[in-house]
Amino acid sequence: MSNRNRIHALLRRWRARLGATAGCGAPAGDRDAPDALASGRNALVAWFAAEPEQYALAQATLAALARAGPRPLDETAAPVVTVQNWLKTAVARLTQQPLPPERWPPVAGLSGRYLMLTRVLGDALDAAYTTALRSGQPHHCPLTWEPLPTVTLQPRLKPAEWAALDGTGLGSLIAGVWLPDAGQRQVWLAVAHDLPWPDAPAFWAAVAAQTPDSADPVGTADPAGSIEDEERLILRDAVRDVLRGLVQSETFNRQDGAGWYHAGAFWVAAKPFAERLHAQPEVRDRGEWRPRPALYQRLAAHGLLLPNGAQPVWNVYVIEEDLPHRRYASVLKLPATLYARVETCPAYAGRLQVVS
């Protein structure tokens, strides 16, 4: 299934769920939201100064998504991630972004500023739920407001498995349930015009192509802690170095090569890429990353690769129309934002077909 078809399927599931679950069992009030919302209002005023007609929708969106953050089952327990914390992260990141061009996207009724706001909030929710899931504290599911399935798995999960739980992508699903109707229409319109809002790395790559000075979304602070931040920086820099060398090699974007730029992402042959990562100075001595599955798990946990559902590795056919044979390859899918000059990178002349 192509990325575009996956996004449309995701959105169809959004709408199907909306009628049954929007607000079901949700708390009537929020202990933390008022102060958190107040702290973001000045940023919204500045962000939407040139689009005052979007300000009311932006406020409603902020209030709605603030109520969808991690909430412990035990209402008396101290939350692992408070609304103030994750919302402050989102607002700070928004203020770091340069304003998009005045007429971007070039679609009537579509606001690039609103899409960037909601994507920043979605990314912050991803990070907040990652931290909450890894804490082991029982939480409500933000889509149904039922207890998350991880609660029943708690006795059976090992510490390393808890540490690998990841909320990446949950922010997009949350938006599908909690966004106001007008915000839903913005997202639908964006996807209908091939702007991949639900796919955060692809969306930020599209933004970066319009605003070359945009803040690096891959470098967003993770509230999980400084040790994990350090681990992520080590892996991020190593991935960037190896990817840079691969893109500059003569075999890049060839069927028999080890990497391709296709559909807004980098696809790299999994085993050779892992071997090159293991050879990087700051990675080679980390024994816990030596098994490839462990390395892939850490890359996925830090948002440095785009998994295929629950699996880090994709199986694809590499196809070129003028060649008689297709090539089968096991690959990793990397966000385009990991390459500094992605706007200058040519797309692969062939195509990659995902093997189901």
- What does residue 108 show for φ and ψ, rounded to 5 degrees? -60, 130
Task: Check whether residue 198 and residue 237 sit in a common domain.
Answer: no
What's residue 31's pLDDT? 44
Residue 203: CB atoms within 10 A of its CB come to: 24
Q: Look at the chain and report how many structural domains it folds into.
A: 2
Task: Check whether residue 167 and residue 248 sit in a common domain.
Answer: no
- The yes-or-no verdict on residue 306 having pLDDT over 80 is yes
Cα–Cα dist 168/171, whole Å: 7
* Domain limit, last residue, from 221, 251, 283: 221
Task: Check whether residue 8 and residue 139 sit in a common domain.
Answer: yes
Task: Check whether residue 112 and residue 260 sit in a common domain.
Answer: no
Task: Check whether residue 30 and residue 74 sit in a common domain.
Answer: yes
* Domain limit, last residue, from 199, 221, 243: 221
Task: Check whether residue 122 and residue 160 sit in a common domain.
Answer: yes
The answer to which of 23-32, 137-146, 275-284 has the lowest mean pLDDT is: 23-32
Task: Check whether residue 307 and residue 169 sit in a common domain.
Answer: no
Task: Check whether residue 186 and residue 266 sit in a common domain.
Answer: no
**Mean pLDDT computed over 73-95:** 83
Residue 259 banded pLDDT, cuts 50, 70, 90: very high
What's residue 295's pLDDT? 92
What's residue 161's pLDDT? 66
Mean pLDDT computed over every residue of the chain: 80
- The yes-or-no verdict on residue 82 having pLDDT over 70 is yes
Cα–Cα dist 186/179, whole Å: 10
What's the domain range around 199?
A: 3-221
Task: Check whether residue 151 and residue 233 sit in a common domain.
Answer: no
Residue 17 banded pLDDT, cuts 50, 70, 90: very low
* Domain limit, last residue, from 221, 246, 268: 221
Task: Check whether residue 215 and residue 69 sit in a common domain.
Answer: yes
Location of structure tokens 């599209």 = 206
Cα–Cα dist 153/74, whole Å: 17
**Mean pLDDT computed over 277-288:** 88
Asked if 109 contacts 189 with a C-beta cutoff of 8 angstroms, the reply is: yes
- The yes-or-no verdict on residue 208 having pLDDT over 90 is no
Q: What percent of the chain has pLDDT over 70?
A: 79
This model's pTM is above 0.75 = no
Task: Check whether residue 139 and residue 285 sit in a common domain.
Answer: no
Task: Check whether residue 136 and residue 248 sit in a common domain.
Answer: no
Task: State how far Cα 311 lies from the chain centre.
Answer: 16
261 strand-pairing partners? 266
Residue 23 banded pLDDT, cuts 50, 70, 90: very low
